[in-house]
Amino acid sequence: MMNTEVSLRDALRATIWARMLNAEQMARVEAETFETFVPKGGFVCHKGEAVENWIGIVAGMVKMNNFSPNGKSVTFTGVPPGGWFGEGSLLKQETRKYDAMALRDSRIARMPASTFHWLLDTSLPFTRFLLMQLNERLGQFIGMVENERLLDINTRVARCLASLFHSHLYPGIEQLVQISQEEIGLLSGASRQRANQALQVLEKLGLLRLDYGGIRVLDLDGLRRYEA
């Protein structure tokens, strides 16, 4: 269910990078960052378009993906509430290299490029945050390539869930992950039925519990270490 209670202002102030800003910087961020609503299945942004905003997830879930010429979809990662993306394209001032789609009704924060670059010019801590963000994102994508090529589906589902628990990239995630089995399948490259089978295996091992409204992670380290 989409969180309609948290305000955009509170969501911004809860981010790691906001804690590093002074009063003037935070005031400009709050004044210029705006929110849009994207329904389930809608596009947050399109491949090939000019990158005009740094994008954060206030509520919902977004996946980064691309489509091949024959229509096959390739998902790179999912971004839960609290996550921000698109800084690489903003820094390189290039067109966007991927689509981002809402896996469910989502509230999207959009910081204008001019605000983003102003923060880079005026806040050394913000610049350091972005360096860490880019480094962590690179490590995440390297791990995903390894998972896709070397691991079976059960392990990919386990690693997919574990990847959502990242204190820097996704600081807002909680023990109960509000994600459906269909969404897990999309993020791990498996069908809904096969993702469900994998989740049942992981549940029997005591690593998670399938709850109403999501998946409750019981042993995060176990999910990270799991290998069939």
Query: pTM here?
Result: 0.76
pLDDT at res. 146: 62
Burial of 27 (0-12, 13-18, 19+ CB in 10 A): exposed
| pLDDT per residue of the chain (228 residues) written in tens, 0 to 9 | 455 578 999 999 999 999 999 999 999 999 999 999 999 999 999 999 999 999 999 999 898 887 766 766 667 778 888 999 999 999 988 899 889 999 889 999 999 999 999 999 999 999 999 999 888 887 776 666 666 655 688 988 888 888 777 767 777 666 777 778 888 887 787 888 898 999 999 999 999 888 877 888 888 889 888 887
Separation between Cα atoms, residue 195 and residue 156, nearest integer Å: 9
Let me know: does 114 contact 73? Beta carbons within 8 Å. no
Let me know: does 141 contact 86? Beta carbons within 8 Å. no
What does 163-212 look like in DSSP terms, one character per residue? HT-BTTTBTT--SEE---HHHHHHHHT--HHHHHHHHHHHHHTTSEEEET
Neighbouring-strand partners of residue 111 = 54
Query: Is the backbone of residue 5 left (phi > 0), alpha (psi -120 to 50) or beta?
Result: alpha
Query: Is the backbone of residue 93 left (phi > 0), alpha (psi -120 to 50) or beta?
Result: left
Rg of the chain over all Cα atoms, to the nearest angstrom:
18
pLDDT at res. 37: 97
pLDDT at res. 1: 46
- Neighbouring CB atoms inside 10 A of 102's CB total 22
Three-class HEC string of 2-50: CCCCCCHHHHHHCCCHHHHCCHHHHHHHHHHCEEEEECCCCEEECCCCC
